[in-house]
Amino acid sequence: MKGKVLSIICALGILTVSCSDFLDSKSQDEVIPKTTKDFRELLLGSGYPNPTNEHPVAITSYMDDDLDCDVNNSSAGADYTKSIFAVYTWQPDAERYESTVVSPELASTPYYAMFERIKGCNAVLDYVDEAVGSQQEKDQIKAEALAVRALFYFWLVNLYGEPYTENPQSLGVPLKLSSSVEEVSIARSTVEKVYEQILADLNKSAALLGEDSRVTTDYRINRPTVEILLSRVYLYMGNWQKAVEAATEAIRIGGELTNLTAIEKADANFVCTQYSSQEVTWMYGGSVSTFKIESGLNMSTELRTAYGENDRRMDLYYSYDASRGEYYNNKPSSTNDAPKSAIRMSEAYLNRAEAYVLWENKTTEALADLNKLRRNRITGYQDVAISDPDLLLKEIRLERRLELTLEGHRWLDLRRYGMPSIKHTWLPGVGMALQTYVLKEKDPMYTLPLPESVIGANPALTQNASAYEPERKAE
């Protein structure tokens, strides 16, 4: 085992990861994982999302309808703004905007970076049973590796495969489930097959974690988080009953919602994606993005005006620049080496509420979840009564947008909502005419092209149709 694991470690490049003491050892024997503690460190350093990198779906924050051009910003036409033009306007060569979010090298594309992390999870799963340690410790490590691998595959298939509810037989991504180094290229599995693997991993993870797994504050995944992820996956598949069951289990064993209305406005230390918020079940990885004032882009007017006057999310989720009269995102932790993204109990309530409506029009149950969330967000909120399922679904999805902004959900939600047409305005430079770019309904660019560098490295891959779209022009 030692030789195999050592070669895997070297291939992963984890000998330079500073978070693991054992990886800093000088002798060859000392860099070989032997104990369950070693494997926990291996998983943290090479499997879990990297906290110093941007979120795997950061690219999508420039593509959804929560962002738009700040026409009063003097940064319009600046180098940063120009560098995200291709993504912001849904160009077929969008992957080349990697000069800001990722670099043009193969190893820096979101696709490749996520598969590198999957490789780390696979290495742990392949060899942890041979480690020195208790079976309980081994099961815990396997459970974490399975859940993290499932999450990476969820992100991958929702970036590069068509939405499950649109075409489950379309091509998703390759399924690589072992750490073995093979010369044979691997073709893409269908979206349906990828989802089946995601569910298999999450359900096995939940079983291994067991009833005693509760929320921790050590950046390790846990059973409440796995149940939230299961509810998310079932929601994306249109399996409403299973989504309700998983969300209900998450709520049963997870934390309570944070009552934002009880937090002082002067509390500058509150961050909704940190463990200091009782509803956070897991902190992980880097931030998705922020509304960067210096970018010439900002929160869309549609999103900003959707928050009510007494909605505490406006002063607790965002910061305000009085000089420009603009809000910008303030969710990520200020600690550079700490995870900045999170999974929160609010998602469980939103997943369940939406699934209730779509599963036999259970409006009473759905409305209870919606009202509970709003009571914890809006000062002086009075419960509403909505009996129309269509109207209630619209309100739940609006609440989801307001609650989970810039946490990696909106673009993926738009895809599963049927891929509606959206518009972005673009200001090429100060004093120049404003332009409008359109992503039409069910546009091929709702499924991103595979990076050309990845296609070149794996000839078995088939490119998505979006790669062959013509250059998108302003209207």
Q: What is the CATH number of the domain that holds 345?
A: 1.25.40.390
When pLDDT is cut at 50, 70 and 90, the band that residue 339 belongs to is confident
Cα angle 336, 339, 340 (rounded to 5 degrees) comes to 85
Domain-embedded: residue 155 = no
Residue 382 lies inside a defined structural domain of this protein: yes
Helix boundaries (H) for 36-107: 36-46, 79-83, 85-88
The residues, any chain, with a CB within 8 Å of residue 205's CB and separated by 6 or more, are: 142, 143, 144, 146, 147, 150, 221, 226
Rounded to whole angstroms, the Cα distance separating 141 from 208 reads 9
Query: Domain span at residue 364?
Result: 215-290+331-408
pLDDT of residue 161: 98
Q: Does residue 401 lie within any of the structural domains? A: yes
What domain count does the chain have?
A: 1
Tell me the average pLDDT across 235-244.
Answer: 98
Quick check: is 362 in a domain? yes
The mean pLDDT value of the chain amounts to: 87
SS3 at position 76: coil
In the predicted structure, residue 418 carries a pLDDT above the cut 80: yes
> Does the pLDDT at position 310 exceed 80?
yes
- Residue 240 placed within a domain: yes
> How sure is the predictor about 10, in pLDDT bands with cuts at 50, 70 and 90?
very low
Please provide residue 424's backbone torsions phi and psi, each rounded to the nearest 5 degrees.
-125, 135
Whether 254 maps to a domain, the answer reads yes
Residue 49 — pLDDT band, cuts 50, 70, 90? very high
pLDDT-based confidence at residue 22 (cuts at 50, 70, 90): very low
Residue 75 falls within a domain, yes or no? no
Closest residue by Cα to residue 161 from 184, 119, 195: 195
Asked if the structure places residue 142 within a domain, the reply is: no
Q: Average pLDDT, stretch 115-120?
A: 96
The alpha carbons of the chain give a radius of gyration, in whole angstroms, of: 22
Q: Return the minimum-mean-pLDDT range out of 14-18, 159-163, 330-334, 438-442.
A: 14-18
Q: What is the pLDDT of residues 206-234, one digit of tens each?
A: 999 998 899 999 999 999 999 999 999 99
Of 133-147, 179-193, 245-259, 367-381, minimum mean pLDDT range: 179-193
Give, as one character, the DSSP assignment of residue 17: -
Lowest mean pLDDT among 177-186, 273-282, 310-319: 177-186
Mean local confidence (pLDDT), 147-168: 98
Q: What is the mean pLDDT of residues 54-72?
A: 87
Confidence of residue 468 (pLDDT cuts 50, 70, 90): very high
